[in-house]
Amino acid sequence: MKINENVKIKELTTMRLGGLARYVIELETVEDVEKAYLFAKERQLPVFILGTGSNVIGKDEGFKGVILLNRIKGIRFIDELTIDAMGGELLDDLVAFTTEKNLSGIEALSAIPGTVGAAPVQNVGAYGQEIEQVLESVYAYDFKEEKYVTIKKEDMNLGYRQSIFNQGEDAGRYLIISMRIHLSHDRLTPPFYTSLQSYVEEHQITDFSPKSIREMVTEIRWSKLPKPEEMASSGSFFKNVYLDDQEAERLRSMNVPVWEGNKVPSGWLIDHAGLKGKSFYGMRVSEKAALILINESAQSYAHLKQAREEIVSIIEKKYGLTLKQEPVELE
C-alpha cells in the first residue's frame, strides 16, 4: 500500500483538471482495501475511489480526503466460461484476454478506457453489449458495514450508465475488488450498430469471431476518439437522452433520430446544432465525434462548467432537450 500526500488530481484524470488531493493511496492487494479505509476513518476523511480517471472530473478546490487507486491485478478462470477479474485490471486488457480465448460477451467493449472495477459502476456498454449482460456478481468492500461482501447482479439496480454504486443512497459505499462474468461461445451477428455495420460492409468482413469484432471496434473507436495520453478528454461527455412516447413523437416530427427504447443520440443533437469543432472557454467539441469534449487550453473546472452550460443551453433552445454530463465529479 503506497500513501502519497498533496497529489495533483489533474495528473490522475484524463481531462487533466483539478487541484490537490490530501492523500492518494494505491491499493495493491485485497488486504490493502480495509487498511486504507481505516487510514481514512482514523483521520475522519472522506474517501473517493478512482481507477484510470477517464470518467472523473476534478474540481479546482481539490479533494480534502483520501483517493483510493485500485491497482489490484489478476484474471482467472472459475470454469470454462466464468472469469474473475480484479478491479485494478484495465477493462481493455480483460477484453483482449477473453477474445484471445475465443469467448464472446465483451468484445464490443474494446478500447473503452477505464478499469474492471469501474465497469459495473457505469454498467459500461458499447455496440449492443453491456456489462450487465455477462455480469454475475462483484466482490467488494462495504465502507458502511466495514466488511468484505459479495453483491449479485440482481441487487445492483443496473440501468443505462448507472447502478447502486453511483446512484442513490449507496453511491460511493462500495469499492469493487473483483468482478465475476460469464461468457459464451456464441457470436455477434449482423445487423450491428450503425458504425460497426458500415465498417463490416465497407471492408466486406465475414469473420465475426470475438477477436475480429474486437479489432473492428478498436479501429472504429480510435478513428473517432482522442487517446487520453495524446489529448485531454473524458471520452463521451454527454449521456444519450431517453424520452417518453409523447416526447419521442415530437422529436420524430423534427426529423431527429429516435432509437429503440426512445433513445436520442446526444452526439447527433450536438452535431446538428452545428457545434462540431467549436470551442468554448478552452474546451473544444471534437470534429470527429460530437460527444467528445477536448480540453485544449482550459485551466480550471470553472472553464469546463461554462463550456458545458453553454452547450446544454444551445441544445435546449434548439430541441427542448436537456443534456446530462456522463463523467462523475470528484467531490
Angle at 108 (CA atoms; ends 114, 101), nearest 5 degrees = 95
Query: Would you state the pLDDT for residue 331?
Result: 84
Query: Would you state the pLDDT for residue 137?
Result: 98
Considering the domain architecture, whether residues 249 and 306 belong to the same structural domain is answered as yes
Please report where in the chains the cell 470534429 appears, as a residue: 287
Question: Would residue 145 show up in a list of annotated catalytic residues for this protein?
Answer: no
pTM: 0.91
Helices and strands of the chain, counted as H and E runs: 8, 19
Output the domain CATH number for residue 42: 3.30.43.10
Per-residue pLDDT tens for 152-180?
A: 999 999 998 899 999 999 999 999 999 99
229 has a pLDDT exceeding 90: no
Query: Would you state the pLDDT for residue 225?
Result: 85
For the chain, give the percent of residues with pLDDT over 90.
93
Per-residue pLDDT tens for 264-281?
A: 999 999 999 999 999 999
Question: Would residue 161 show up in a list of annotated catalytic residues for this protein?
Answer: yes
| Among 182, 216, 241, residue at a domain's last position | 182
Query: Would you state the pLDDT for residue 174?
Result: 97
More confident site: 82 or 222: 82
Q: What is the mean pLDDT of the chain?
A: 96
Domain that holds residue 291: 232-329
Question: Would residue 236 show up in a list of annotated catalytic residues for this protein?
Answer: yes
Considering the domain architecture, whether residues 88 and 163 belong to the same structural domain is answered as yes
Considering the domain architecture, whether residues 108 and 40 belong to the same structural domain is answered as no
Considering the domain architecture, whether residues 81 and 45 belong to the same structural domain is answered as no
- The residues with which 85 forms a beta bridge, in sequence order, are 75, 179
Output the domain CATH number for residue 138: 3.30.465.10
Q: Exactly one of 16, 54, 107, 161 is catalytic; name it.
A: 161
Considering the domain architecture, whether residues 178 and 87 belong to the same structural domain is answered as yes
Per-residue pLDDT tens for 95-112?
A: 999 999 999 999 999 999
56 has a pLDDT exceeding 90: yes
Whether 218 is in a domain gets the answer no
Query: What mean pLDDT is predicted for residues 110-119?
Result: 95
For the chain, give the percent of residues with pLDDT over 70.
100
Distance, in Å, from the CA atom of 252 to the CA atom of 326, rounded to the nearest integer, reads 24
Q: Exactly one of 136, 247, 310, 326 is catalytic; name it.
A: 326
Structure confidence at residue 293 as a pLDDT band (50, 70, 90): very high
Considering the domain architecture, whether residues 160 and 253 belong to the same structural domain is answered as no
Output the domain CATH number for residue 268: 3.90.78.10
Structure confidence at residue 226 as a pLDDT band (50, 70, 90): confident
Per-residue pLDDT tens for 183-223?
A: 999 999 999 988 899 999 999 999 999 999 999 999 999 99
224 has a pLDDT exceeding 90: no
Query: Would you state the pLDDT for residue 157?
Result: 97
Tell me how far CA of residue 22 lies from CA of 11, 121, 223, 313, in angstroms: 14, 24, 38, 35
Q: Exactly one of 236, 266, 284, 286 is catalytic; name it.
A: 236
Instruction: Give residues with Cβ within 8 angstroms of 264, minimum separation 6.
Output: 240, 241, 242, 243, 251, 256, 257, 258, 321
Whether 43 is in a domain gets the answer yes
29 has a pLDDT exceeding 90: yes
Distance, in Å, from the CA atom of 12 to the CA atom of 4, rounded to the nearest integer, reads 13
Distance, in Å, from the CA atom of 7 to the CA atom of 53, rounded to the nearest integer, reads 14
290 has a pLDDT exceeding 90: yes
Whether 66 is in a domain gets the answer yes
Question: What is the number of structural domains in the chain?
Answer: 3
